[in-house]
Amino acid sequence: MKTKSEAGIIGQSEAINSAIERAVKIAATNSHILITGEVGTEKQQFAKFIHLLSKRSSNRFLHSNCDIHHKFSMEVELFGHEKGVVKGSMSNRRPGLFENANTGSVFLESISQLTSGNIQQIKKVMFDGSIQRIGGDMTEKIDTRIFLDIELDNKGKHILPSLKKQFANMNLEEIVIPPLRARLEDIPLFCSKQLSPGAYKRLSSYDWPGNVRQLREAIRKSELFCLSETLHAEDLILPHTDHSLDLYSALPEPEDGFDMPAFLSKVKKQLMLRAINNAELNPSEAARMLGVSAKTVRKFWEEFGPD
């Protein structure tokens, strides 16, 4: 499905296909939408997918992260302002997100960070399509479809149980995006290289608190330093919170043909890569973490670092 790839959705599992089927049904409506899921499940991609399938597809799809705004700046972000309201403003007025997305769609991420006043303002827009710029005395009508990000914890429970209840009487559509642990068979699809059985086992055994977003970043880093066409378990650079595998149980069993020097060389390389990554490419800091000289790290980087 072309629209699926355009939105950035990857997956063929039953769980993700079920969410896609739900999205297709919702796209045919004009209702505002609650997109429910854990952090990193890529709810924005599903919002865009629904937008692209809707009658609004030729119009704007805008996004705002509510977690990066304080109360007043969030109001300005959403509703805009008249001249002189915001210090330093040089324009007669600044249109807000809802106004800029008129006839299109808006995805509001992390709405759990909004104040109750912000929520009430958004509900009014959803109810009658009216907005009022900050400092203005006139209301305007808009036609903007709103997607709200409702967050779940890693046990599938609402982070703020009361948040969803505030929209209970709004007759909204809802779609739940599955966590990565419910769609482990999709993991190889996020890799541009082949995935060895050992690498898949390690990836599928890891507890991904950041879900698909965290997986994408781990794969990107791992493939960056992997020179072969196949990712092996020892090539994976996973977040340092990887406690899913016991240190010694992860070691291979010695058997005929086992090459200990080659294995230890790969382990050394993996530790070097992790330290360099954790040190944000600072060789001195990576050397301190490893208990080796900065010269050793620089020599390794010259030999194995990406071009």
What is d(CA 234, CA 199) in angstroms, rounded to the nearest whole number? 8
The CA distance from 217 to 275, in Å, is 16
Q: Which residue has the higher pLDDT, 45 or 77?
A: 45
One of 3.40.50.11900, 1.10.3720.10, 3.40.50.150, 3.40.50.300 is the CATH number of 2-178, namely 3.40.50.300
Q: Is the pLDDT of residue 250 over 60?
A: no
pLDDT for 56? 96
CA angle 138, 142, 145 (to 5 degrees): 145
Q: Work out the mean pLDDT of the chain and round it to a whole number.
A: 86
Question: Within a 10 A sphere around the Cβ of 228, how many other Cβ atoms?
Answer: 10
CATH 3.40.50.300 domain span(s) along the chain: 2-178
The span from the CA of 61 to the CA of 43, in Å, is: 14
pLDDT of residue 143: 95
Whole-prediction pTM value? 0.78
Q: What is the mean pLDDT of residues 140-160?
A: 86
* pLDDT 10s digits, 50-78: 999 999 999 999 999 988 766 668 888 89
Residue with tokens 């992790």: 274
Strands 105-109 and 61-65: parallel
Task: Quickly list H helices, the chain.
Answer: 2-7, 14-27, 43-53, 71-79, 97-100, 116-128, 161-165, 197-205, 211-225, 260-278, 283-290, 294-304
Structure confidence at residue 128 (pLDDT): 92
Burial of 278 (0-12, 13-18, 19+ CB in 10 A): middle
Look at residue 253 in the predicted model and tell me its pLDDT: 61
Residue 221 predicted with pLDDT over 80 = yes
pLDDT-derived band at 91, boundaries 50, 70, 90: low
